[in-house]
Amino acid sequence: MSYHVEKQCPKCGQMLRVPKNIGGKLMACPACGNKIISDFKFGGVRKQQGLARKIFELPGMMLQRLFNLLR
């Protein structure tokens, strides 16, 4: 099982290995120093995954409810 995904730096083209269990982290390409943000994932959150997911999704749910009320 692979514990990383490969991405290409948009600036220099260097292939980078990004761990799967992190998300939303700011990283720098080792070749050119370009700043890259990893994709957001819940992989690192184990015990309180349900709570973290609810907190993350709360603004979207509130906007959807507000939109439905205004219709």
Task: Write out the DSSP string of 1-40.
Answer: --SEEEEE-TTT--EEEEETT--S-EEE-TTT--EEEPPP
SS3 6: strand
Residue 15 has pLDDT above 80, yes or no: yes
pLDDT, residue 47, reads 55
pLDDT, residue 31, reads 93
SS3 19: strand
Q: What is the pTM of this model?
A: 0.49
Dump pLDDT digits (tens) for 18-59. Answer: 887 777 788 889 999 998 887 766 555 455 567 777 777 888
